[in-house]
Chain A
Amino acid sequence: MASHVVANTWTLTKIRVLLAMRNRTFLFFSLFMPLGFLFFFVMVFSKGDSPWTAFILGSILTMTVMGSFWGLSVQLVTFRETGILRRFRLAPVGAGPMLASSILANYILVVPSAAIEILVTKWVLHMQSWGNLWAMFLLITVGSAAFSAFGLIVASVTNTMQETQVINQIIWTAFLFLSGATVPLARFPHWIQGASLFIPATYLATGLQFAATNLATLGEIATDFAALALGLVVAFEISRQLFRWEPEAKVPGRAKLWVLAALIPFVAFGIYENVAGHRLNRVRQDFQMLDSRDAPAPPSDVH
């Protein structure tokens, strides 16, 4: 039985990877667009080989990983609306392998994109060091899976593609602008910084930025990793419970409350970090350190 589940998951994973590789839109959004942003941000905000290049790499990696959220929710709703899921339902394939394969396939596709971004930043954009590659790898792995699972929850609680796009847009905007992925978190007022600790994307963004700039050790990203891993487990189980094969099987309003359950780990981590944690202090200090490396030298005394 278990071997069947594993075999079906792997069979579905392979075909999903194949289908994604044939999808030009996917290639554009997952590979070419992040690379375009990388070049643009480095040219505009980074001066030569300053540490900012590495910081920007962290942000771009965050966007690449978070893209899983948008892609998977849209894909699952499309599959349901067009009746593709119904066909799979006839076969001896359960909801678990269907969902797990989409997460796994997405991970297999995200890793090469992230690797290309790191290599381009190092070799073409002259990043000074490699950053903490192990920390980056771990965060990309757990982040990709967690954000995929968040996308699957959205797909499970929305009834139409239109609804999915609206909810995705709202969540995506919050993830992008309040997590530090675009505007460095330390630049925000303190109350926004406090609020950002309740957002899953913050753990990914700050973790990847400081892994890329080599300011974090493997141990220092443990909280980021734990928050995302816990979020993944909860989100996967909720999406499995709410999974629907049929387009006409509408989700009842109260089931949407389950989405709030997916946020519980981040509420807990947010409260902890706001009350007893040192994350924000670390973020501010690290940011100051980056900023000071970049600042012009103070004028010498004139005698």
Chain B
Amino acid sequence: MPEPIIAVEGLFKSYNSNGVTVEAVRGLSFAVQEGEVFGLLGPNGAGKTTTVEILEGMRTPDRGTARVCGLDPEKAGAEFKQKIGAVLQSTSLPDKLRVKEALDLFANFYTSRADTESLLKRFQLEEKRNAFYSHLSGGQKQRLALAMALVNNPQVVFLDEPTAGLDPQVRREIYDIIAELRKDKKTVLITTHYIEEAERLCDRVAIVDYGRIIKTGSPRELKHSSAGTTRIEVRLARPLTNGVLSTLEGVADCRDFDGTYVLHSTLPPRTIVALVKHLEAENNELQSLEMFSPSLEDVFIELTGRRLRD
């Protein structure tokens, strides 16, 4: 097994917020191989951004070690920064900086420089090359951020919630770009709380919650490791107690998330028939019913008892 390009061992980081200590990262360990797209999947506040910012050299861990490209991100300084590219979760550029100027400016800081004209073309920013940063849409700003992350032909690219807050169409555009990076065999570490993103883009995913990794594997492995149940989400005219639904035929698990009952069933057709019969007997009605094949969301619910967006 070759030496991992990213190696994290026993990472801890806490913050002091108004006199209260918040443990953001609690003993995180993982390794990423060269050319791999690795995802940290978890809800907001799980410690994903803190972990990535430690790996980018922007934060100091309390304990544990982190190595990227064989270097300590915090101590290696400029040599380390030459090797990485990143899209930060919250960042900006001066309003009156033009798109092409931004790319050229950042390219100038590096010894290895990508052709900024090609980047404009690749990220569909050619028409916006002379536009001020303040005149760009959210999607265009994010495409520029991605282009800027590649101006130095980095060995490792960190993408912290690259599609957060973007509309579905722009999100799909960004997915295509990341898929291209995957094809180019770039090492990418991506954080996300979107199931679709992790399933579609990552070779391997680490599910993170409360600063800890609770499971790691390829999306397929993770889904197979779950109970193999189908998720059925129902909303009813009148609420029921959970206990009743969990007794229906085929139901392995049932949870109530703010009036939406999430049932995991090993026999979905029979569960639905039993559900309808039960509602008729109770003089209750179905408002909606949706079925989902097993996803990483189900794995997350199984492991934590919560939904990712909670």
Contact = CB atoms under 8 A, between A and B. Distances in A.
Contact of A4 (B78, B84, B86, B88): B78
A82 B58 contact: no
Given A15-B97, A23-B96, A90 B81 contact: yes
A299 interface: no
Contacts of A7: 108
A19 interface: yes
B58 A84 contact: no
B91 A19 contact: no
A22 B78 CA distance: 31
A119 interface: no
A59 B81 CA distance: 46
Interface string A64-88: 0000000000000001001110110
Q: Main SS of the interface on chain A?
A: helix
A51 to B, nearest CB: 42
B176 to A, nearest CB: 24
A91 interface: yes
A19 B81 contact: no
A202 B84 CA distance: 48
Interface string B86-124: 101011111011000100011011100000000000000
Contacts of B56: 90
Contacts of A296: none
Interface in B61-87: 77-78, 81-82, 84, 86
Interface residues of B, number: 23
Given A11-B108, A90-B88, A91-B106, A18 B101 contact: yes
A83 B96 contact: no
A87 B101 contact: no
Given A15-B97, A18-B101, A92-B78, A87 B109 contact: no
Q: Is the interface of B mostly helix, strand, loop or mixed?
A: loop
Contacts of A23: 96
* Chain A interface residue bracket vs B: 20 to 34
Given A84-B91, A84-B94, A90 B108 contact: no
Contacts of B93: 84, 87
Interface in A10-27: 11, 15, 18-19, 22-23
B96 A22 contact: yes
Interface string B252-274: 00000000000000000000000
A86 B78 contact: no
Contact of B82 (A89, A92, A94): A92
A93 B97 contact: no
Contacts of B109: 8, 11, 91-93
A90 B58 contact: yes
A76 B151 CA distance: 25
A89 B58 contact: yes
Contacts of A87: 88, 91-93, 148
Interface of B: 56, 58, 77-78, 81-82, 84, 86, 88, 90-94, 96-97, 101, 105-106, 108-110, 148
18 contacts: A7-B108, A8-B108, A15-B97, A15-B101, A15-B105, A19-B94, A83-B88, A83-B92, A84-B91, A87-B91, A89-B58, A90-B56, A91-B106, A92-B77, A92-B81, A92-B109, A92-B110, A94-B78
